[in-house]
């Protein structure tokens, strides 16, 4: 028996026929870019898959290809009896706020949203600035040129939060370092443009960057590939991307989207707004066999000290989204 049930659709309408969805079980709806983006969506899928394997159960899933599908997808799963329904990505907020009140007995979980306050919605956000600070420290430690860079996806405050946190971590290690920051675009297409990601990376390398951090969804794959081709270090995001280019990805900024999905499917769906940072194990950095030779004991000790200081409240990383400013980086 398959561990999941995939629901197919087109770019203009959901091709959902009666009985196509698995009724009464959990469901997950991915954001644009698809579940195998090797980043945010794939991390969500991994959490769902882990739950399915451990429980011998199935889940329903759907990959949208256009924004127009969002509300229709939510309503169809709710009408088929799926609960909880998990949505991966902040772009689900508007459709969810419209649809959720019509299904008061359905539990909804939306990831990367920290402002929806509805009685049947659990909104889960992250302190991306904290995880980005940690990988910024590692970037500064590893850089030989004193120039590091950042490639963001869609130019929105959330992604600027990553860049700002990263720059603060760099400055904490080397206040004289230069951080180059570029965004891929201003539309959702920016999440899935590896060619543009590659172009931006090449431009940053020409300016001296020898470590690049990508927070750009599927676009980031182009960033990491180009960094590998050009012989500089890269930093992955959301999921652990160290394995993509062993020995060349310095680390990955982990955002535990997988755990949110796993816990949601396991019954942690109490309504309310939840914010996960270092203290809650929601963000961090990746250390494994693929980057062990790149991160020295001294580098690890520096980052672990910062991690402990964040968890205790001694170290507070400025949040770009608090006032849409960054003390150490201009976008």
Same domain assignment for residues 70 and 202: no
Decide if 311 is inside a domain.
yes
Q: Which helix (H) or strand (E) holds 253?
A: strand 249-255
Return d(Cα 70, Cα 27) in angstroms, integer: 14
Residues 155 and 65 in one domain: no
Long-range contacts of 65-68 (CB under 8 A, 24+ apart): 65/9, 65/10, 65/11, 65/32, 66/11, 66/12, 66/32, 67/32, 67/91, 67/188, 68/12
Q: 29: part of which helix (H) or strand (E)?
A: strand 27-30
Average of pLDDT values for 246-262? Answer: 97
Average pLDDT, the chain: 92
Distance CA 167, CA 183 (A): 15
Cβ contact 170:137 at 8 Å:
yes
How much of the chain is helix, strand and coil, in % rounded to 5? Answer: 40, 20, 40
Instruction: With residue 44 as reference, give the H or E element that holds it.
Output: helix 40-55
Show the tokens assigned to 43: 């991390």
Residue at 243 is within a domain: yes
Mean pLDDT of 302-319: 98
Backbone angles phi and psi of 184, in degrees to 5: -75, -35
Phi, psi dihedrals of residue 323, rounded to the nearest 5°: -150, 15
pLDDT of residue 22: 57
What is residue 8's predicted lDDT score, i.e. its pLDDT?
35
Of the candidates 98, 126, 154, which is a domain's last residue? Answer: 126
Report pLDDT digits (tens) over 163-222. Answer: 999 999 999 999 999 999 999 999 989 999 999 999 999 999 999 999 999 999 989 999
Q: What is the mean pLDDT of residues 268-289?
A: 96
Residue span of the structural domain in which 49 resides: 2-126
Is there a single domain that holds both residue 161 and residue 295?
yes
pLDDT tier, 33 (very low <50, low <70, confident <90, very high otherwise): confident
CATH code for the domain in which residue 304 is found: 3.40.50.2300
Please check whether residues 148 and 92 belong to one and the same domain: no
pLDDT beyond 90 at 11: no
What pLDDT is attached to residue 23?
Answer: 64
Extended strands (E) in 83-238 = 85-88, 108-111, 121-126, 147-154, 178-185, 211-215, 233-238
SS (H, E, C) 297-313: HHHHHHHHHHHHHHHHC
Average pLDDT over residues 43-71: 96
pLDDT on residue 181: 98
Distance of CA 9 to the CA centre of its chain: 24
Average pLDDT of the segment spanning 67-77: 96
Other residues' Cβ atoms within 10 Å of the Cβ of residue 316:
10
The arithmetic mean of pLDDT across residues 5-32, rounded, is: 57
Q: At what angle do helices 297-312 and 128-142 cross, to 10 degrees?
A: 160
3-state secondary structure of 263: helix
Residue 15 CA from chain centroid, whole number: 28
* Tens-digit pLDDT profile for residues 78-129: 999 999 999 999 999 999 999 999 999 999 999 999 899 999 999 999 999 9
Domain shared by 293 and 158, yes or no = yes
Please say whether the beta carbons of 101 and 43 come within 8 A: no
**For residues 36 and 253, what is the distance between their CA atoms, to the nearest angstrom?**
18
pLDDT score recorded for residue 34: 85
In the predicted structure, residue 3 carries a pLDDT above the cut 50: no
Taking the CA atoms of residue 262, residue 29, residue 92 and residue 88 in that order, the dihedral angle to the nearest 10 degrees is 40
% of the chain residues with pLDDT over 70: 93
Q: Which of 126, 156, 182 is the last residue of a domain?
A: 126
pLDDT given for residue 278 in this prediction: 97
93 and 182 within one domain: no
């Amino acid at each position: 028996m398959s561990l999941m049930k995939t629901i197919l659709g087109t770019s203009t309408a959901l091709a959902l026929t009666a009985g196509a969805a698995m009724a009464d079980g959990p469901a997950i709806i991915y954001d644009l870019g698809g579940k195998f983006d090797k980043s945010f969506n794939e991390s969500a899928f991994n959490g769902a898959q882990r739950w399915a394997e451990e429980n011998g159960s199935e889940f329903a899933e759907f990959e949208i290809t256009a924004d127009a599908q969002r509300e229709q997808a939510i309503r169809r799963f709710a009408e088929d009896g799926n609960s909880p329904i998990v949505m991966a990505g902040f772009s689900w907020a508007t459709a969810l706020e419209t649809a959720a009140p019509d299904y008061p007995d359905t539990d909804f979980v939306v990831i990367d949203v920290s402002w929806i306050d509805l009685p049947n919605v659990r909104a889960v956000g992250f302190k991306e600035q904290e995880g980005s600070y940690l990988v910024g420290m590692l970037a500064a430690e590893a850089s030989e040129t004193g120039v590091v860079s950042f490639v963001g996806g869609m130019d929105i405050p959330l992604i600027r939060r990553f860049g700002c946190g990263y720059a603060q971590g760099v400055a904490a290690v080397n206040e004289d370092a230069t951080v180059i920051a570029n965004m891929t675009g201003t539309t959702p297409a920016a999440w899935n443009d590896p060619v543009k990601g590659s172009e931006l990376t090449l431009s940053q390398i020409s300016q001296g960057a020898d470590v690049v951090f990508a927070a750009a969804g599927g676009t980031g794959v182009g960033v990491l590939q180009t960094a590998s081709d050009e012989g500089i270090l890269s930093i992955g995001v959301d999921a652990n991307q160290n394995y993509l280019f062993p020995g060349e990805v310095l680390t990955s900024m982990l955002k535990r989207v997988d755990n949110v999905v796993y816990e949601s499917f396991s019954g942690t769906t109490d309504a309310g707004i939840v914010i996960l940072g270092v203290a809650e194990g929601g963000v961090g950095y990746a250390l494994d066999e693929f980057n062990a030779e790149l991160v020295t004991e001294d580098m690890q000790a520096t980052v672990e000290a910062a991690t402990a200081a964040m968890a205790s409240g001694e170290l507070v990383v400025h949040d770009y989204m608090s006032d849409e400013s960054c003390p150490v980086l201009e976008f």
